[in-house]
Amino acid sequence: MSTSRSTPNARRLRWTPWLFAAPGLLLLTLFMAVPFGMAAVLSFTDQRLLTHAALPTEIVGWDNYLRLWEDDSFWAALGNNLRFVGVVVPLQTALALGLALLVNRKLRGSHLFRTVYFMPVATTMSVVAVIWSLMYSPDQGVINRLIGVLSFGSIGPQDWLRDPALVMPAVMLLSIWQGVGFQMLVFLAGLQAIPVDLYEAATLEGARPWQQFRWITLPLLRNTTIFVVVTTTIYAFQLFTQVQIIASSGAAAPVDSFRTLVMLMVHEGLRNGSIGYASALSVVFFGIVLAISMIQRLIIREEGGAA
């Protein structure tokens, strides 16, 4: 824009984008920035869920953070979160891509498969978790029966939700089953945006299917993949519903073998009423998720530079 333009017009142009952004910014401030700021402030106090007239809220400095450092439940929860993210993100992304490739084929009934794979996404997670916890049952559960049949009876029934070594894998399996349809849909959209003539040209040049996948599909799906990986990571960190339902449906595995950070926050804040401590947890949690997202971005950018 040249400086010779009339000033009122320029001023209007300068303000217009802010005007358009205002509703969104206002909501973001109100529901994201302010609560987070409050959590940061509360994490330095001994705020209780229900305030008590004889016990005014006091500043406790770094006490909540020091307690967190010494709290083995926190470290266990962090470990569970990292293990979950570490397994679920790559596995779910790869599986989603595989499913998308399958249902993208021009075959009769591929629409049916798309619907079937997407159905779990449309089901509420709490319903999924309750049904799967029945399927994992050691005596009547369908999963143990299936394993028994597939292994010709050599693997006996496992107590999936009470065995500290099996409870996390069990949660991972049901989470992937529930969530993979959504990523599949995103990949499918990405696949259908790739021009068909690229493949036709490649076929004429004699490229085999694997070569086409490696040198056409994957590079052109790059942005889609970045989106899927980043969102899946963030969703995976927020793991709560499944584990909370497992914790409250019958005796469970030792809590620390599957409790996640979000669940710990709820337990500390809502059950025990220590909002100050729960706030400290949420600040640390935010820091960790932020750091991991930044690292992901950094790695992806480097690859982008090399490509």
Partner 1 sequence: MSRSAHRSRSALRLSRLALVAAALLGSVGTACAQTVVSMWVHAGAGPEAKAYSEAVAAFNQSHKDVRIDLVRLPEGSYNDQVNAAALAHKLPCLLDFDGPNVYNYAWTQKIIALDGFPELKRIAETEMLPSLRRQGTYNQQIYSLGQFDSGLALWGQRKWLKKIGARIPTQVGEAWTLAEFEDVLRKLKAAGVAFPLDMKLNYGMGEWFTYGFSPIVQSLGGDLIDRQSLKTAQGSLNGPEAVKALSLLQGWARSGWINPATRDDSDFIQGRSALSYVGHWVHADYRKALGDDLVLIPMPKFGTRAVTGAGSWNFGISADCKAPREAAAVLAHLMSPEEIGRVTQANGAIPGTRTALARNRNYSAGGPLAIYAEQIQQGVALVRPATPAYPVITTAFSEAVNNVLAGSDPKKELDRAARRIDQAIKDNKGYPALR
- Which residues contact partner 1 (rule: CB under 8 A)? 46, 48-50, 52-55, 72, 130, 134, 137-140, 159, 161-162, 164, 247-256, 267, 270-274
Q: Are 275 and 57 in contact (CB under 8 A)?
A: no
Cβ 77 to partner 1 shortest distance, Å: 13
Burial label, 103 (beta-carbon count in 10 A; 0-12, 13-18, 19+): buried
Cβ 149 to partner 1 shortest distance, Å: 20
Closest to partner 1 by CB, 146 vs 193, is 146
Tell me which amino acid residue 263 is. M
Long-range contacts for 94-100 (Cβ within 8 Å, ≥24 apart)? 95/176, 95/180, 96/180, 96/181, 96/182, 96/183, 96/184, 96/186, 96/187, 96/228, 97/187, 97/221, 97/225, 99/180, 99/181, 99/184, 99/187, 100/184, 100/185, 100/187, 100/188, 100/190, 100/191
Cβ 33 to partner 1 shortest distance, Å: 22
Cβ 59 to partner 1 shortest distance, Å: 14
Closest to partner 1 by CB, 73 vs 296, is 73
Closest to partner 1 by CB, 164 vs 195, is 164
Closest to partner 1 by CB, 114 vs 267, is 267
CA 267 to CA 58: how far, in whole Å? 22
Query: Which two three-digit tokens encode residue 108?
Result: 């009769």
Closest to partner 1 by CB, 196 vs 251, is 251
Cβ 252 to partner 1 shortest distance, Å: 6
